[in-house]
Amino acid sequence: MDPTLDAVDTGTSGERTLQCRYGTQARADAFYRNQVLDHLNVAMRDFIALQTMVFIASANAQGEADSSFRAGPAGFVRVLDERTLCYPEYRGNGVMASLGNILENPHIGLLFVDFTVSKIGLHVNGSAGILANDELAHHPGVTTAVAGDLAETGGRRPERWVVVAVSEAYVHCSKHIPRMRPATADEIVWGTDNVTAKGGDHFQARASKRASPAG
C-alpha cells in the first residue's frame, strides 16, 4: 500500500486535542485523508460556478470573529484557477467589516451551501487580499476575456474584489441541510437603495439606541 495514502498532515492543535479527548481520531484521520484537498478539484470548481450565495468568516488581528453573507447570480464567485478564487464587493453600508478584518488578518473561511438542488456544502479556507477592479484585470489568473466579464456582475459594477488563495477545501455533508425554494428574478432587487426592500431597521436597533441610557 502506498504510505502516502495514510498520511495526515492537516488539523489544528485544538482539533487534535479534542479528537484525542473524545476518541474521534480514527474518524478525523479518515476525513482528512479522503476529503480534505489543498486545491479546488474539477467537481468543486463546477459546484462553485452554480452557487448564488456564500457565507464568509473573518477575524481581526485580535482574533475577534465576524461572519457575513454574499449573494449574486450563479457563478458570481469566480474560480480563477485550482488554487485561486475571487468574489465582488459592491457598495454597502460603508462599514466594511469583512474587508477591515481581511486588511488586518488575511485568513478567511468560505462556506458554499446548495439549499435548492444537491443539498451539499463546500468549505474553502485560505488567505485573502483586496484588489481594485483594474488590479484584478491584471491578476495572473485573469484572461482578457474574463477581465471584461468581471467588470460587471449581475448588472452591477463591483467596487473592488476579494481574491482568495486556497489552502483547504472539503465537503460539508448534506445531513440536516434544509431544501429551500430559490427566489424568482422579480423577488431580487440587486443594488437597491429602497429601505423596505433592504430590510431597513428590521430589528429596531435605532429605537433601542434611543431608549437605552447608554445610547
Mean pLDDT by 10 residues, the chain (215 residues): 45 94 95 95 96 96 96 91 94 90 98 93 97 87 62 71 96 85 70 64 75 60
In the chain, what are the domain boundaries? 1-36, 37-185
Specify the pTM.
Answer: 0.82
Question: What angle separates helix 25-35 from helix 13-22, to the nearest 10 degrees?
Answer: 140
* 51 alpha carbon, distance to own chain's centre: 11
Per-residue pLDDT, 9: 62
The pLDDT, as a whole number, for residue 81 is: 93
pLDDT, position 140: 83
Q: Are 98 and 68 in contact (CB under 8 A)?
A: yes
Angle at 124 between CA 64 and CA 105, to 5 degrees: 30
pLDDT value for 105: 98
pLDDT in the model for residue 10: 76
What is residue 180's predicted lDDT score, i.e. its pLDDT? 80
Quick one: pLDDT at residue 2? 40
Burial profile 52-84: b = 16 or more Cβ within 10 angstroms, e = fewer? bbbebbbbeeeeeeeeeebebeeebbbbbebbb
Q: State which amino acid sits at residue 170.
A: Y
Strands (E) located in 36-183: 53-59, 65-71, 78-81, 84-89, 107-113, 121-132, 160-172
Q: In the chain, how many H helices and how many E strands? A: 8, 7
CATH 3.40.980.10 fits 37-185, yes or no: no
